[in-house]
Homo-oligomer: A and B are copies of this chain.
Amino acid sequence: MSSYCIHSASDKALSWRGGRGVGCATTGVTMSDATQTERAGKAIRDLIISGVVLPGERLAEVQLAERLNMSRTPVRSALNTLRYEGLVESLPGRGYAVASFAAEDLRHAVELRGLLEGTAARQAAERGAAIFEVDQLNRVLRDIDALFEDQTTWKDHVHEYINLNEEFHRLLIESAQNPVLARLYEQLIKLPFASPSDLVVGYWHLPGSYEKFTAAQHQHWAIVESITAGRGTRAEFLGREHAEITTKALGEMLRSGALSRDLMATAARRPRPAARG
């Protein structure tokens, strides 16, 4: 079984959620987390994302525990957590099953992320963002600009771009100083391919990615500009429009097959448990 880590197609094997050096699904043990529960969570997540277990398939506790070389207790705990992250669904009295995601779900998630980011930008603009926060946003954007200066070498710095892009979006949410919004955002981007990084990971090697990324960066600047100027409405709609680029990129990714097709429900949305894998 050569299904290894995520995106076996992509040679650079960018990890899915910035987990630094986490082991792969088959073992799930090589990483050095604090608790067994965390190890279980990451391992099961990998199993799902990498497509080792398919959508709709049941996740039996004993089976998982054996596979991960631990007892049922941390596995149970991790499954309960993953339920709230939307990766697994709980069956009434029969444990859990891998959640199914349709392409439509991904589009919805991206659109909602734009909505929340736009709201954060508006609130930051309306309350008057602190100088410190704006400075941080500007610094990140200048760093990203530097990466894109040379169109011939920018692909060598994709990792840096991913980190900076993620930091920008995180700072943007923080700038609203709205813990409830931040919590909701956190929950949303835990869905597969709903976070800013995930989409970059899947998109950067496609043709035309440079133009998309520079256009997105243009919007980044405009958002910060709006916040600084206290133009809340413009900030909000720029945040939403920013998601439109992502949606477009998502569409290209789907057509190109860059997204692990296993994540998509091929037949109906959320097929019945299907006790038999």
Instruction: Give chain A's interface secondary structure class.
Output: helix
Q: Which residue of B lies closest to A269 (CB)?
A: B179
Provide the residues of chain B in CB contact with A84, threshold 8 Å: 81, 84, 187
- Contact among B34, B115, B183, B187 for A119, CB-based, below 8 A: B115
- CB A96 to nearest CB in B, in angstroms, measures 13
Within the assembled complex, what's the spacing in Å between the Cα atoms of A80 and B77?
A: 8
The tally of residues in A whose CB lies under 8 Å from a CB in B reads: 25
Q: Which residues of B contact A115 (CB under 8 A)?
A: 115, 119
Cβ of A222 < 8 Å from any Cβ of B? Answer: no
Given contacts A81-B84, A115-B115, contact A108 B188 (CB under 8 A): no
Q: Is A163's CB within 8 Å of the partner chain B? A: no
Assuming the contacts A84-B84, A115-B119, A119-B115, asked whether A180 and B108 have C-beta atoms less than 8 A apart, the reply is yes
Q: Knowing A77-B76, A80-B81, A115-B119 touch, does A108 contact B178 (C-beta < 8 A)?
A: yes
| Contact pattern, A 182-214, Cβ under 8 Å of B = 1, otherwise 0 | 011001100100000000000000000000000
Q: Taking beta carbons and an 8 Å cutoff, which residues of A are in contact with B?
A: 34, 76-77, 80-81, 84, 86, 93, 105, 108-109, 112, 115, 119, 178-181, 183-184, 187-188, 191, 269-270
In the complex, 28 of the A-B residue pairs with CB atoms within 8 angstroms, ordered by the A residue number, are A34-B93, A76-B77, A77-B77, A77-B80, A80-B80, A81-B84, A84-B84, A84-B187, A86-B183, A105-B179, A105-B180, A108-B178, A108-B179, A108-B180, A109-B180, A112-B119, A112-B180, A112-B181, A112-B184, A115-B115, A179-B269, A179-B270, A180-B188, A180-B191, A184-B184, A184-B187, A184-B188, A187-B187
